[in-house]
Chains A and B, each alone.
Chain A
Amino acid sequence: NAGVTQTPKFRILKIGQSMTLQCTQDMNHNYMYWYRQDPGMGLKLIYYSVGAGITDKGEVPNGYNVSRSTTEDFPLRLELAAPSQTSVYFCASRSTVEDTQYFGPGTRLTVL
């Protein structure tokens, strides 16, 4: 049971490039979340999903897109990367019967 996994661990992008951050969980959790954490700050919710095929915006969705075609995977897409998207991105998941969110190890993204 690997829990929540994320790839890649690190990435450097040039302004205007695009990429997909991968998130997979093997706990059969319905709820999945994407957060970003800027230096010295708390986590901000980007998008979340309550199940396959259902996604919704969080606090800071601009510049990002998500999809949820399976229960296990919740990829985050960055189109036209900007320096303001330099951050650490965390994926999390939880079941429907408990409130605890389990976080992945994070992806550190730098946009230059």
Chain B
Amino acid sequence: GENVEQHPSTLSVQEGDSAVIKCTYSDSASNYFPWYKQELGKRPQLIIDIRSNVGEKKDQRIAVTLNKTAKHFSLHITETQPEDSAVYFCAASMSWGGATNKLIFGTGTLLAVQP
């Protein structure tokens, strides 16, 4: 089955710097890769996702890149702000048509943005 590895487990940056979180997956059939942000004591919330037919996707200060050959994908946050501090999870799944989209999650990265 699918396995997702995520690193680093913790990341501390200065406000305004960039942050990069990386994930690798094992199942070449996976084609959907979401990123979730989870603030302390809150539910996970989707911040960005990418499909395997796209190499990069941006949404304001957040971007995700995907390398299908190497089976890894990364989250990039630019101009970090204190409110970006949270745990970030990557996930992978097979999703097309009516497929079940069973998400396999990485173990999370605790991002701390120092003011």
Closest B residue, CB atoms, query A96: B98
**In contact, A44 and B105 (Cβ under 8 angstroms):** yes
Give the A-B contact count at a CB cut-off of 8 A: 55
Say whether A42 contacts B107, CB under 8 Å: yes
Q: CB distance A42 to B108 under 8 Å?
A: yes
B20 contacts across to A, CB distance below 8 A:
none
Residue-wise interface mask of B (1-22) relative to A, using a CB-CB cutoff of 8 A (1 in contact, 0 not):
1001010000000000000000
Could you tell me if B49 and A105 are in contact, using CB atoms closer than 8 angstroms? no
Residue of B nearest to A101 (CB): B103
A54 to chain B, nearest CB (A): 10
Instruction: List, in ascending order, chain A residues with CB within 8 A of B32's CB.
Output: 99
* A101 and B46 within 8 A (CB): yes
**Secondary structure of the B side of the interface?**
loop
Binary per-residue interface labels of chain A (78-112) against chain B in the complex, 1 for a CB within 8 Å, 0 otherwise: 00000000000010001010011101111000000
> A59 — which chain B residues lie within 8 A by C-beta?
1, 104
> Can you spell out 21 A-B residue pairs with CB atoms less than 8 angstroms apart?
A31-B100, A33-B102, A33-B103, A41-B107, A42-B89, A43-B89, A43-B103, A48-B102, A59-B1, A90-B43, A99-B32, A99-B34, A99-B93, A99-B95, A101-B46, A101-B101, A101-B103, A103-B44, A104-B43, A105-B42, A106-B43
Chain B residues with a Cβ under 8 A of chain A? 1, 4, 6, 32, 34, 42-46, 49, 89, 93, 95, 98, 100-108
